[in-house]
């Protein structure tokens, strides 16, 4: 039994303990209520915002503290919510924290937090809260070290509404959840798990790490089903477009340091699905079924870059060209008058536009990272198509490339070559096949082949009409070519075979600046016995020479063939025949007074018949070469000699020889002429003869002979089996008859058949 002296102390301790417990109970149950009322009554006085609280928990027995059902409204009595949450609670032994200067918090829970953030320039709707109380410039003199730790942190059901004058539309983050196992003053590393959704479409889920001691940060995150339409307002800063559809999936594992540019290491995958982009009029511009890029490695320390797969499926695009020089993209992109991006608009977008920020990041990445080793396991494009329309010609040109398929072998800087195979369907008919090999270490070393089968040339009719003045009615082209470039030296071998080529009649509706080539004639002359045109076009040169250009050389080769065929068709045709004088295929000539065909005329006509039979795609026009004045004088001289020799018609062969041997300057003949026409003395002999017999009579006789010659030639050609529409007599042009006008006859002017 205890001493009576000790009993009062026990009573006192019991009373004191009971008082402390009652005080703690009072604090735990009544102080939160009083504090809640006090905060609600004075919140507008303190922060100019009304605050309501459901209840507070300050429980020193369970070490649990929390604030529940909090709503803070915008300033000045606004009914709009600024911040709210259903619960913020934490567990901590505050007494131990005070005693040991080691604050340890556990089980931090933030449930259903909501933030309404509004930005105008550099100010936010909470900037006034940050400015309350001024600046504390008093330096702390407490040299003791305060330790803290926070464990088991979780945020659930969060939502953020963010509106800004630099954003095209407000952004809403919903379903926000975050977890962190531990944040402590003893360790500079923090690991988070974070996830949220975007009201406009898209979900983010991943982990984040920050290590302030080592200046490192890391991201392992996944963006799923990000809806591209929410980027449309930003895209409209740079191009005229009415709609953007599709979604993006992005997986990213990134390690980097803000102090060491060689620490960058990235692995990830990007997928775009259902992309559809329109132009300013709502027309289709770009479509994509799916595209995926798998980045296996990007390592700045080893300067290596590896893609495991690049896949593009169902890419479709449309390209249009107009006569004023504009095209689909110059009309879609927002350009200034000088041809660049609108600097004013670009400047306005540069601070916040997601595309500008992305471009800046890629530019920075490119400056810091240059790959010495790169690898791609496969690159594939399938089921793609391009619709091309050109309104430059008077008749619009429309063409379609479909079923575009491009596949590569593994590309590696350590390997000798990288191989590509490509195929496509041209205008739903022709087939294109190509192989392409290059050295991954030196792109200037290339070997390529290209083959085109069954290309319908009538599809190119709008170009043929506008740039060549001849409609392209029929034809099938096959092309094979091989090209190699090594050390800058180009060696290209190209074979073109055209079958069933047929041009229409020349049109007057064409580009006024072109040089009209004789395509119909050239096509007919260049065809072989099977009706095909077979051309070899080699191209060689040094690509290191800045003056060397490939396409002008190819065009010049083809142009020369056509020009030679048109300007010197006889020479080209004569090569197809043995023992043929080119002059036999240029014209047929008659004597000045000859109307009937003789051996000298049958020879060139026979050659002409043979040519027309072997080349049914040709026609020939016979352009009369007779100089009327000259022929009239020759006929008059013949008639004067006949009168002088007193010969009767018809003239025999022997008498004709006598007349040919008689010179117009024979003294006896001149004496006779002086007697017959004394008034013409002093004039040229043939002029005197024409005056003697009469110009009208001479013209009548010459024209009658010309009519007889025409009939004789046409009858001969018809009898030889040449159709009337393939051999015609018509007046020749000045250019056609240059150098041929003189004796009676006909120059052969070839052309392609209708």
Q: Are 316 and 287 in contact (CB under 8 A)?
A: yes
Q: Does residue 416 sit within a domain?
A: yes
Residue 590 sits in the same domain as residue 488: no
Residue 715 sits in the same domain as residue 598: yes
C-alpha closest to that of 385 among 359, 403, 406, 364: 403
Dihedral (CA of 299, 302, 305, 307) sign: negative
* Distance from C-alpha of 349 to C-alpha of 172, rounded to nearest angstrom: 21
Number of structural domains found in the chain: 2
What are the beta bridge partners of residue 291?
A: 272, 312
Asked whether the predicted pLDDT for residue 316 surpasses 90, the reply is yes
Q: Does residue 444 sit within a domain?
A: yes
Tokens found for residue 35: 């504090």
* Distance from C-alpha of 555 to C-alpha of 619, rounded to nearest angstrom: 27
pTM of the model: 0.71
pLDDT category at 13 given cuts 50, 70, 90 is low
Per-residue CA distances from 59 to 33, 53, 64, 150 (Å): 13, 17, 5, 19
Looking at residue 339, its pLDDT comes to 46
Dihedral (CA of 741, 747, 751, 754) sign: positive
* Distance from C-alpha of 282 to C-alpha of 243, rounded to nearest angstrom: 7
Q: Are 372 and 359 in contact (CB under 8 A)?
A: no
Residue 692 sits in the same domain as residue 592: yes
Number of residues written out for the chain? 754
Looking at residue 404, its pLDDT comes to 96
Looking at residue 348, its pLDDT comes to 47
Dihedral (CA of 83, 84, 90, 96) sign: positive
Looking at residue 563, its pLDDT comes to 59
* Distance from C-alpha of 370 to C-alpha of 627, rounded to nearest angstrom: 80
Tokens found for residue 38: 């006090």
Per-residue CA distances from 124 to 43, 82, 159, 317, 484 (Å): 20, 12, 18, 43, 63
Higher pLDDT, 376 or 149: 149
Q: How far apart are the first and last CA of the chain?
A: 140
Residue 733 sits in the same domain as residue 638: yes
Asked whether the predicted pLDDT for residue 659 surpasses 90, the reply is no
Q: Are 737 and 625 in contact (CB under 8 A)?
A: yes
Degrees (nearest 5) of the Cα angle 177, 205, 271? 155
* Distance from C-alpha of 214 to C-alpha of 211, rounded to nearest angstrom: 6
C-alpha closest to that of 380 among 400, 410, 412, 414: 410
Q: Which of 246-260, 366-380, 487-501 has the highest mean pLDDT?
A: 246-260
Residue 624 sits in the same domain as residue 539: no
* Distance from C-alpha of 67 to C-alpha of 391, rounded to nearest angstrom: 71
Q: Is 543 exposed, middle or buried (0-12, 13-18, 19+ CB in 10 A)?
A: middle
pLDDT category at 141 given cuts 50, 70, 90 is very low
Q: Are 285 and 327 in contact (CB under 8 A)?
A: no
Residue 420 sits in the same domain as residue 505: yes
pLDDT category at 341 given cuts 50, 70, 90 is very low
Degrees (nearest 5) of the Cα angle 306, 307, 310? 165
Q: How many CA atoms lie within 13 A of 377 on its CB side?
A: 9
Residue 621 sits in the same domain as residue 748: yes
Looking at residue 347, its pLDDT comes to 42
Total Cβ atoms within 10 A of residue 462: 20
Could you give the percent of the chain with pLDDT greater than 90?
A: 45
pLDDT category at 34 given cuts 50, 70, 90 is confident
Q: Are strands 489-503 and 532-542 parallel, antiparallel or unpaired?
A: antiparallel
Looking at residue 470, its pLDDT comes to 87
Q: Does residue 621 sit within a domain?
A: yes
For the sheet with 727-729, list strands across it.
587-589, 745-752, 618-624, 727-729
For 626, residues 6+ apart whose C-beta sits below 8 A from its C-beta are 702, 706, 741, 742, 743, 744, 745
**Phi and psi torsions of 474, nearest 5°:** -160, 155
Q: Are 662 and 669 in contact (CB under 8 A)?
A: yes
Asked whether the predicted pLDDT for residue 451 surpasses 90, the reply is yes
Q: Are 343 and 238 in contact (CB under 8 A)?
A: no
Average pLDDT over residues 50-61: 88
Q: Does residue 275 sit within a domain?
A: no
* Distance from C-alpha of 452 to C-alpha of 433, rounded to nearest angstrom: 7
Asked whether the predicted pLDDT for residue 5 surpasses 60, the reply is no
Dihedral (CA of 487, 488, 493, 494) sign: positive
Q: Are strands 379-390 and 397-408 parallel, antiparallel or unpaired?
A: antiparallel
Q: Are strands 216-227 and 587-589 parallel, antiparallel or unpaired?
A: unpaired
Residue 589 sits in the same domain as residue 470: no
Q: What is the mean pLDDT of the chain?
A: 84
Condensed to tens digits (0 to 9), the pLDDT of residues 500-552 reads 888 888 888 888 887 777 777 777 777 776 778 888 888 888 877 777 666 56
Q: Does residue 403 sit within a domain?
A: yes
Of the listed ranges 87-91, 186-190, 409-413, 590-594, the least confidently predicted one is 409-413
Looking at residue 259, its pLDDT comes to 85
Q: Are 319 and 327 in contact (CB under 8 A)?
A: yes
Tokens found for residue 48: 């100019």
Of the listed ranges 62-71, 255-264, 712-721, the least confidently predicted one is 255-264
Condensed to tens digits (0 to 9), the pLDDT of residues 387-404 reads 999 999 999 999 999 999
**Phi and psi torsions of 727, nearest 5°:** -140, 105
**Owner of token pair 């003869």:** 689
Q: Are 115 and 161 in contact (CB under 8 A)?
A: yes
Q: How many CA atoms lie within 13 A of 119 on its CB side?
A: 14
DSSP 548: -
The SS3 of residue 643 is helix
H or E stretch at 149? strand 147-164
pLDDT category at 575 given cuts 50, 70, 90 is low
Tokens found for residue 562: 């056509």
Of the listed ranges 332-346, 368-382, 434-448, 482-496, the least confidently predicted one is 332-346
Residue 534 sits in the same domain as residue 625: no
* Distance from C-alpha of 741 to C-alpha of 732, rounded to nearest angstrom: 10
Residue 620 sits in the same domain as residue 721: yes
Looking at residue 23, its pLDDT comes to 65
Condensed to tens digits (0 to 9), the pLDDT of residues 578-600 reads 555 566 678 899 988 889 999 98
- CATH at residue 637: 3.30.1330
Tokens found for residue 425: 């369907």
Dihedral (CA of 632, 634, 636, 638) sign: negative
Q: Does residue 98 sit within a domain?
A: no
Domain that holds residue 481: 393-515+528-543
* Distance from C-alpha of 353 to C-alpha of 234, rounded to nearest angstrom: 6
Degrees (nearest 5) of the Cα angle 725, 731, 732? 100
Residue 532 sits in the same domain as residue 612: no
Residue 612 sits in the same domain as residue 708: yes
């Amino acid at each position: 039994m205890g001493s009576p002296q000790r009993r009062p102390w026990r009573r006192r301790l019991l009373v004191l303990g009971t008082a402390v417990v009652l005080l703690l109970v009072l604090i735990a149950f009544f102080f939160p209520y009083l504090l809640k009322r006090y905060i609600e009554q004075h919140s507008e006085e303190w922060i100019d915002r009304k605050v309501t609280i459901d209840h507070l928990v300050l429980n020193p027995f369970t070490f649990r503290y929390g604030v529940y059902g909090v709503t803070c409204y915008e300033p000045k009595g606004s009914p709009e919510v600024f911040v709210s949450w259903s619960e913020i609670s934490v567990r901590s032994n505050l007494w131990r924290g005070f005693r040991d200067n080691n604050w340890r918090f556990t089980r931090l829970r933030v449930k259903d937090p909501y933030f309404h953030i509004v930005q105008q320039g550099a100010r936010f709707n909470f900037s006034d809260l940050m400015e309350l109380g001024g600046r504390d410039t008093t330096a702390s003199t407490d040299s003791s070290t305060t330790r803290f730790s926070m464990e088991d942190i979780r945020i659930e059901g969060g939502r953020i509404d963010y509106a800004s004058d630099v954003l095209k539309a407000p952004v809403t983050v919903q379903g926000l959840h975050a977890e962190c196992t531990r944040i402590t003053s003893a360790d500079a590393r923090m690991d988070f798990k974070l996830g949220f959704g975007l009201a406009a479409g898209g979900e983010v889920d991943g982990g984040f790490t920050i290590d302030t001691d080592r200046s490192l940060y890391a991201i392992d995150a996944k963006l799923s089903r990000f809806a591209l339409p929410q980027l449309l307002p930003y895209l409209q800063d740079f191009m005229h477009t009415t709609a953007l559809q599709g979604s993006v999936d992005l997986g990213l594992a990134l390690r980097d340091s803000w102090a060491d540019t060689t620490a960058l290491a990235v692995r990830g995958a990007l997928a775009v699905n259902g992309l559809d982009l329109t132009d300013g009029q709502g027309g289709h511009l770009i479509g994509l079924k799916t595209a995926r890029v798998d980045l296996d490695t990007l390592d700045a320390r080893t300067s290596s870059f590896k893609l495991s797969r690049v896949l593009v499926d169902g890419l479709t695009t449309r390209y249009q060209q107009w006569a004023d020089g504009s095209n689909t993209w110059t009309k879609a992109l927002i350009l200034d008058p000088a041809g660049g991006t609108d600097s004013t608009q670009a400047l306005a977008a540069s601070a916040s536009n997601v595309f500008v920020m992305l471009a800046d990041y890629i530019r920075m990445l490119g400056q810091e990272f240059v790959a010495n080793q790169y690898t791609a396991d496969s690159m594939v494009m399938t089921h793609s198509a391009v619709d091309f329309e050109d309104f430059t010609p008077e008749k619009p040109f429309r063409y379609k490339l479909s079923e575009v398929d491009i596949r590569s072998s593994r590309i590696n800087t350590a390997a000798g070559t990288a191989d590509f195979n490509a195929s496509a369907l041209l205008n739903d008919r022709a087939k294109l096949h190509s192989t392409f090999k290059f050295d991954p270490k030196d792109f200037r070393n290339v070997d390529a082949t290209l083959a085109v089968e069954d290309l319908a040339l009538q599809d190119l009719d709008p170009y043929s009409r506008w740039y060549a003045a001849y409609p392209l009615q029929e034809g099938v082209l096959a092309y094979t070519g091989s090209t190699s470039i090594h050390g800058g030296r180009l060696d290209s071998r190209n074979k073109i075979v055209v079958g069933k080529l047929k041009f229409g009649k020349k049109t007057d509706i064409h580009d006024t600046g072109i040089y009209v080539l004789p395509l119909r004639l050239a096509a007919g002359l260049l065809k072989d016995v099977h009706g095909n045109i077979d051309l070899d076009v080699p191209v060689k040169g040094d690509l290191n020479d800045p003056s060397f250009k490939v396409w002008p050389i190819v065009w010049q080769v083809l142009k020369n063939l056509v020009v030679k065929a048109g300007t010197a068709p006889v020479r080209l045709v004569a090569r197809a025949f043995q023992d043929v004088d080119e002059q036999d295929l240029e014209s047929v000539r008659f004597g000045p007074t000859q109307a009937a065909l003789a051996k000298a005329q049958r020879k060139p006509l026979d050659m002409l018949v043979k040519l027309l039979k072997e080349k049914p795609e040709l026609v020939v026009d016979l352009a009369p070469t007779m100089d009327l004045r000259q022929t009239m004088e020759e006929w008059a001289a013949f008639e004067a000699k006949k009168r002088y020799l007193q010969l009767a018609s018809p003239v025999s062969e022997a008498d004709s020889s006598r007349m040919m041997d008689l010179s117009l300057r024979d003294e006896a003949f001149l004496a006779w002429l002086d007697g017959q026409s004394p008034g013409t003395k002093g004039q040229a002999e043939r002029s005197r003869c024409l005056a003697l017999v009469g110009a009208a009579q001479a013209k009548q006789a010459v024209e009658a002979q010309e009519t007889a010659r025409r009939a004789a030639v046409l009858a001969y050609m018809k009898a030889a089996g040449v159709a009337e529409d393939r051999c015609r007599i018509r007046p020749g042009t000045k250019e056609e008859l240059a150098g041929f006008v003189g004796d009676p006859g006909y120059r052969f002017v070839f052309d392609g058949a209708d």
